[in-house]
């Protein structure tokens, strides 16, 4: 096979190094020939093709292969180069970051963004590029505000004047006089900003700033000291509340933790039976048959090895078996319900965000369910009526709760939507560097909220809650797991077996309780 490949390459006018030759030898002759023809068609000047060359020109080669629909070439080659099946599937659908996955008479599901993570060793320089990219993206958003006297830190001189700067917070502390001192930076330099406690409105805004927040400051002063007069967040504002002409409902759930000894299986079955119109009074059955979408926002299984000594709390001790059990439940649902499922920290995917879809190797039965769409975490999904739904499981919520005093003292983990409001204010799902494990991306920050959603759906805190922020509907899902020893230890108060529902036509919201005490009771919020 090696001789055949070398002969084809020589006929086309270039050579392969040993590493690339070994990789192509894993392909069949037809696939190898298609790949070589693709490289030739792009008219590269290099005469020796190495793995480094291939990685450097990956996007161009990828586009040719995808446009040619050579699926066999894509799968075999990218496997050999170290890509997962998830990343292959994302490449196949990725086109200008807007991809229509499913569109049928019963409803549509569009994944509006796919984050591409190149398989390479991450170094410090990648994080620097990542934060520079995030700064430029948020700066572009803030520039839409028509800020007065906008300048860079480098241009601030000795003369005291009024300025507006766009900067990232890298240090924050309270002085002995109870004022707030910030150290900030932009791409040109660093500065100190003092927020006087006597300026209550400004101080209240600034005290909740997180490290690595990128905001606009209206300041007065000089290069030695700047004094804040206002703090302007990028913020998410939705100018119009959508309504759909058809009377359809959307259900939201998460955190089933199938495989856990604390999984509330009988209650979960009640929910599925309700969706199938087999449970509830006539009014509820009428609602149930109009449910066209079910969003499952992460942690549908409990996973294995997620935390120390987890095995003691598992009755299904294999990830594949946990996914098989989940597949049984989802296959039971009527086929006209579109199911959209994203992963969480307990799923069989990497912990680092953005998380890819659950791979077929872990969950082959899930991939066979025709009305199921697997999406990454986070994911922006569009459904009927043009509703954009941002799905994020919520790993960063705990960090935000700890860092913002108002939430930590007054809400703790009992108000997930209060946390989401802070994310929307910053246009970012995990602003602080240490709040989640993530993979840096020099082209775009995948955790940045670039498009304003109509709905934000979250999980993780195991408490249902509905709220509205700047016309954006915030829906936190409940769970299907009784309180765990960890939650008891840290003082979390889960509220299981409740399912938020949203009507696309009337915007009516209900929460259906499938618990043992209020079986099948609809509560309108």
Residues 408-438: pLDDT tens digits? 999 999 999 999 999 999 999 999 998 999 9
Q: Which residues pair with 227 in a beta bridge?
A: 194, 220
Q: What pLDDT, on a 0 to 100 scale, did the predictor assign at position 100?
A: 42
First to last CA, the chain: 66
* Mean model confidence pLDDT for the chain: 85
Q: Which helix (H) or strand (E) holds 325?
A: helix 319-332
pLDDT digits (tens, 9 = 90+) for 26-74: 666 776 777 777 766 666 666 667 766 666 666 666 555 544 445 555 5
Residue 170: Cβ within 10 Å count: 14
Domain 249-524 is in which class?
alpha beta
Contact 147, 216 (CB under 8 A): yes
* Of the listed ranges 11-25, 171-185, 362-376, 384-398, the one predicted with least confidence: 11-25
**Whether residue 187 has pLDDT greater than 70:** yes
Domain boundaries, the chain: 2-82, 145-232, 249-524
CA distances from 75 to 82, 86, 116 (A): 11, 10, 16
At 507, the pLDDT band (50, 70, 90 cuts) reads: very high
> Span 145-232: which CATH code?
2.40.50.140
DSSP states of 154-206: GG--SS-EEEEEEEEEEEEEE-TTS-EEEEEE-SS-EEEEEE-TTSHHHHHHH
Band of residue 524 on the pLDDT scale cut at 50, 70, 90: very low
Tokens, residue 283? 């009014």
**pLDDT tens-place string over residues 293-316:** 999 999 999 999 888 888 899 999
Tell me the pTM: 0.79
**pLDDT tens readout for residues 222-267:** 989 999 999 999 999 999 999 999 999 999 999 999 999 999 999 9
pLDDT on residue 95: 38
Token pair belonging to 425:
């204010």
pLDDT in tens, 76-122: 555 555 544 444 444 444 433 334 444 444 568 888 877 767 667 88
At 193, phi and psi to the nearest 5? -125, 130
What does the pLDDT read at residue 23?
66
**Distance, CA of 280 to CA of 236 (rounded, Å):** 38
Domains 145-232 and 249-524 share a fold: no
């Amino acid at each position: 096979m090696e001789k055949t490949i070398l002969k084809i390459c020589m006929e086309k006018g270039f050579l392969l190094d040993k590493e690339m030759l070994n990789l192509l030898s894993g392909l069949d002759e037809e696939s190898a020939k298609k790949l070589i023809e693709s490289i030739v068609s792009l008219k590269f000047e290099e005469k020796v093709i190495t793995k480094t060359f291939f990685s450097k020109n990956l996007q161009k080669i990828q586009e040719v292969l995808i446009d040619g629909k050579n699926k066999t070439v894509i799968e075999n080659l990218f496997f050999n180069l170290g890509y997962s099946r998830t990343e292959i599937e994302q490449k196949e659908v990725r086109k200008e970051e807007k991809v229509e996955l499913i569109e049928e008479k019963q409803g549509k599901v569009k994944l509006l963004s796919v984050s591409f993570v190149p398989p390479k060793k991450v170094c410090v320089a990648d994080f620097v590029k990542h934060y520079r990219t995030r700064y430029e993206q948020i700066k572009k958003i803030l520039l839409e505000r028509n800020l007065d006297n906008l300048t860079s830190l480098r241009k601030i001189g000795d003369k005291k004047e009024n300025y507006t700067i766009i900067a990232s917070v890298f240090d924050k502390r309270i002085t002995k006089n109870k004022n707030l001192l910030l150290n900030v930076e932009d791409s040109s330099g660093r500065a100190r900003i003092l927020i006087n406690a006597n300026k209550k409105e400004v101080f209240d805004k600034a005290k909740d700033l997180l490290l690595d927040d990128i905001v606009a400051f209206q300041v007065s002063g000089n290069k030695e000291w700047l004094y804040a007069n206002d703090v302007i967040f990028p913020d998410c504002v939705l100018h119009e509340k959508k309504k759909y002409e058809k009377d359809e409902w959307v259900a939201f759930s998460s955190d089933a933790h199938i495989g856990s000894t604390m999984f509330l299986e009988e209650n979960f079955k009640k929910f599925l039976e309700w969706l199938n119109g087999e449970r509830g009074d006539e009014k509820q059955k009428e609602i149930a048959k109009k449910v066209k979408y079910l969003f499952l926002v992460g942690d549908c299984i409990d996973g294995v090895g997620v935390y120390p000594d987890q095995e003691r709390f598992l009755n299904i001790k294999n990830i594949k078996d946990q996914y098989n059990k989940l597949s049984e439940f989802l296959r039971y649902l009527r086929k006209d319900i579109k199911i959209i499922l994203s992963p969480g920290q307990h799923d069989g995917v990497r912990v680092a965000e953005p998380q890819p879809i659950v791979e077929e190797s872990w969950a082959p039965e899930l991939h066979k369910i025709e009305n199921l769409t697997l999406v990454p975490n986070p994911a922006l999904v569009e459904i009927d009526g043009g509703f954009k739904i941002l799905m994020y499981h919520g790993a960063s919520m705990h960090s935000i709760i700890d860092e913002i005093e108002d939430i930590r003292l007054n809400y703790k983990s009992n108000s997930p939507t209060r946390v989401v409001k802070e994310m929307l204010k910053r246009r970012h799902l995990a602003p602080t560097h240490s709040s989640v494990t993530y993979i840096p991306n020099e082209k775009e920050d995948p955790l940045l909220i670039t498009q304003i959603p109509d709905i934000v759906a979250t999980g993780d805190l195991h408490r249902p809650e509905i709220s509205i922020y700047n016309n954006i509907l915030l829906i936190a899902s409940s769970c299907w797991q009784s309180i765990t020893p960890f939650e008891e230890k840290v003082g979390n108060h889960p509220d299981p077996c409740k399912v938020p529902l949203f009507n696309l036509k009337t915007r009516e919201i209900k929460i259906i309780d499938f618990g043992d005490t209020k079986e099948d009771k609809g509560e309108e919020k």
